[in-house]
Amino acid sequence: MPLVRLSLLRGKPRAYRDAIVDNVYQAMHESFNVPKDDLFMIVSQHEPEDLIFDRHYMGMERSDDFVVIQLSVSNTRNQAQKNALFARIVERLQVNPGIRPDDVLIHLLEGDKGNWSFGRGLAQYVL
């Protein structure tokens, strides 16, 4: 179960934000073995002074469409699966809502399966 945090500059319309959510989820489902209905995302919008990023780090040309995608996941996937996820997210976001690849930063946070509780105070993955 990935827990996804999306951070972007304030002011994008609802349809734009929904497209990001939908396409990140579809990319996870297609390339990262995330099951249907496993959808947990937090969308945060920030003022320009609160979302600070270098517009040229690592040779990129970042714009005000910059989005940070942080996924907390269980450490059960190999590097090829991670690479496939990164590529698929960028591909889908480029189509809809039209975010340039340079404007997509993705970060995976990996942890043990026992670190998750989906409710009721239980660690369902390790029961």
Task: Report how far apart, in Å, the C-alpha atoms of 16 and of each of 1, 51, 80, 86 are.
Answer: 24, 18, 29, 20
User: Residue 105: which of 30, 6, 37 has the closest Cα?
Assistant: 6
48 catalytic, yes or no?
no
User: Residue 20: which of 4, 38, 36, 3 has the closest Cα?
Assistant: 4
Q: Cα angle at 45 between 34 and 43, to 5 degrees?
A: 20
User: Residue 40: which of 16, 62, 72, 8 has the closest Cα?
Assistant: 72
What is the rounded CA–CA span in Å between residue 27 and residue 24?
5
Catalytic positions are 2
